[in-house]
Amino acid sequence: MRYLTPWLCLATLVLCGDHDDISNQFGAARQLRTWDEAYALAKTFVAKLNTLEKISLSSGSGISFGPCSGNTQDIDRLGFREMCFQDGPVGVRGTDKVSVFPAGITTGSTWDKELIYLRSRAMGVENRLKGVNVALAPVAGGLGRAPAAGRNWEAFGSDPYLTGVANAESVKGLQDEGVIACAKHFVGNEQERYRLVIENIPNLDREILASLSSQIDERTLRELYEWPFVDAVEAGAGSVMCSYQRVNNEYSCESTTLIRDHLKSNASGGLNFKGFVMTDWFASAIPSLAARAGVDVIMPGDIGATGTVAAFLPASDGASTNGTRLDEMVIRLVASWYKMRQETDWPDVSFSTWSSDDIGVFLDRGYIGQINSHVQAAQPVHATLIRRIAAEGTTLLKNTGGLPLPSTALSIGVFGNDAGPIPESSCGTFGACSAGTLAVGWGSGTGTFEYLIDPLQAITAKAAEVGAVVESVLDDYAYTEIQEKAVGKDVCFAFVNSRSGEGTNSVEGNYGDRNNLTAWRDGDTLVKTVAASCSNTVVVIHSVGPILVEEWIENPNVTAVLLAHLPGQESGNSLVDVLWGDVNPSGKLPYTMGKTEDDYCCKVQYDWDGFQPEQEFSEGLFIDYKWFDKNNIDPRFEFGYGLSYTNFTYDAESLRITEPFGEVDSIDFMAPLFNISVSITNSGSVAGKEVAQLYLGYPSPTNSPVRQLRGFEKLSLQPGETKTAVFVVTKRDVSYWDSGEWKVARGAEYGVEVSASSRDVRAHGTVTF
């Protein structure tokens, strides 16, 4: 009930979110069918199909044979149009008149459930208007085990609880517009290198014969990597994508354990997933094995029109091991389609991912026609939303007085290539750019920019408004010029970035994963050069994930540091909002920033001495802050950390922990078990937002992390105002996986911490069941 229609908000004056000005501009959510209703319709439909037609729905029509990243085929006889599966997590990729939203990692940094939902809702609008049936989003794997892993930025942060909440809100957002969400990549896809046999990396001395195997114990799978998928399934996700690499020596997409037993089963611990499972693109070497393991749709299907049927045969071969398997595959796909009511008023696909020409060949249909009709999908309110998310995700790491800019800051220096526009010539396919400002990462998860407001452009426009003068140097290495121009400025901005993406591309020798955690193009030297000449240096970082800042973080001339993550198309505008204090920063880190790469639990496995690479997840549950806590490592900035232009006081005395809402054993796993609340006051002089965080420490016999995030609430507070943060803790939130089942530790104390970050505890308590 949080996302009320405008009418309800106005009529009842009940609690609507902080973003009513935006949410009011969305219509009522689509009324989805229940799974039971959808299955009944799907069974009737599938009963009318012949075997070949069933096969044509259980596998894609071949890469680039239809307009979208993946496509099924038309079944003309029954008026069933091909289904369009399109990337991706920052908006509809590969077409025009769409938005590029802030990346998952930026969105996770807002810790704002309403913004997370609205971002996905807006993407739902754009996908629907373009005729997309299945959006290949959201991403919850990689979770961020290794900070340098290439695709961590597509997901929401390195904690399963935070990512789980974000996953659920994102699924709801897309599906409230009738677009089938696809929770990906299931599971253990924690780096790019060795993810795919056909993607052998240049410069290695040998070709691998099998993808990397993530060796993960069962408890870690359940409590860490599968956890966010539980939320996606609970939120009604229509599809799940199994991942490229192997888990415990079996391909994820061919693992009966993962797909049948964990994902689909309703037995103990099973996620009881009702939608369809699709493979990642070319993830299944042997489709019949995938079909047997429980995969329902093989993507993208084989290449070539005549090859299409042959490509489907392995799937039907899988079916032959069990007469009902092929039917189940198709029923699950069509049930998701009926659940979203896509049989009524669903737009035709109006674009081609593969060509920007207006007229072209429909390879799958065998005729020439208009392949791009430029339907306007981006809406003005989406730009407002993108700017809001990017500003609210921006994380203030250091501030000794540099920000917000005072009205006396009238001479401004802007330094660093990351402040400027992206030169077309620096970009390869899939948004793999090596220069210009960094607004999203590269790969299938990138976006197609209709426009991008770079920081220099926005700062220049704002400066004109306030009567300030801007001088800039965009060449990162023009140290002499930088020094000359930095001298005497009221404020200097030093821009640095760190890029990564999917293994599809390499940029400056980074094959998807980053080679290290330092700023690109010698950003550390750039910052030190600026700071040497300018006593009021504000550093702005655009980064895919943790970045090392040790070389300059304690430099007294560095008076503020903003981590703007990956902001999407409104980059410069959202930054200016924070710099001049129109928006008080409220983003908090969705990962830990260590002092060295060795501080972290895990690294990308760059080398392997054989043909079937493996990676031991021997750290178990202890990734990111859980590793730092366990090993008493001082981070530079801990998980959950972020400053504000105001101060917040937590009233430790006000901490309340309710009794359980019933007998623990009889409460459902996903149901609320008890509440925790605490009051928080804005004790500073400007309005601001605080993300209050709940961490629980499980009793020690459970061998759990020192603390685990189990709740967060973002409160908007005027100066002097007090509000109560209420955390609803479910039974799942106090459960751990032991000997094949979820258990609550009985008769021993759980530690309760209400905190401003994972290391900044403001109220302590305990609870026992």
Residues in contact with ligand BGC by the rule CB under 6 A: 69, 87-88, 136, 184, 280-281, 444
Nearer to ligand BGC, 197 or 461 (CB): 197
Specify whether the CB–CB gap between 386 and 99 falls below 8 A.
yes
Nearer to ligand BGC, 121 or 184 (CB): 184
Q: In sequence order, what are the beta bridge partners of 677?
A: 656, 726
DSSP run (H or E) holding 314: helix 307-320
Judged on CB neighbours under 10 Å (0-12, 13-18, 19+), 210 is middle
What tokens were used for 618? Answer: 């021997």
Report residue 537: phi and psi, to 5°: -100, 125
Nearer to ligand BGC, 26 or 281 (CB): 281
Specify whether the CB–CB gap between 474 and 590 falls below 8 A.
no
- Find the farthest-apart pair of alpha carbons in the chain and give their distance in angstroms, rounded: 79
Contacts of 33 (CB under 8 A, 6+ apart): 41, 338, 339, 341
ω into residue 164 within 30 of 0, thus cis? no
Q: How many residues does the chain have?
A: 769
What tokens were used for 550? Answer: 């040790």
> Strand, helix or coil at 18?
coil
Q: Whole-angstrom Cα distance, residue 555 to residue 569?
A: 32
Nearer to ligand BGC, 281 or 442 (CB): 281
Q: Which of 87, 176, 231, 280 is catalytic?
A: 280
Judged on CB neighbours under 10 Å (0-12, 13-18, 19+), 496 is buried
CB of 151 to ligand BGC, least distance (A): 8
CB of 150 to ligand BGC, least distance (A): 11
**Closest by CA position to 682, among listed 725, 711, 653:** 725
Please indicate whether residue 280 is annotated as part of the active site: yes
CB of 183 to ligand BGC, least distance (A): 11
Nearer to ligand BGC, 57 or 140 (CB): 140
Nearer to ligand BGC, 281 or 641 (CB): 281
What tokens were used for 677? Answer: 């609340």
Q: Whole-angstrom Cα distance, residue 404 to residue 427?
A: 34
CB of 279 to ligand BGC, least distance (A): 10
CB of 300 to ligand BGC, least distance (A): 7
Q: Whole-angstrom Cα distance, residue 17 to residue 25?
A: 13
Provide the H-helix boundaries in 553-696: 571-579, 625-630
Nearer to ligand BGC, 69 or 702 (CB): 69
List the catalytic residues: 280
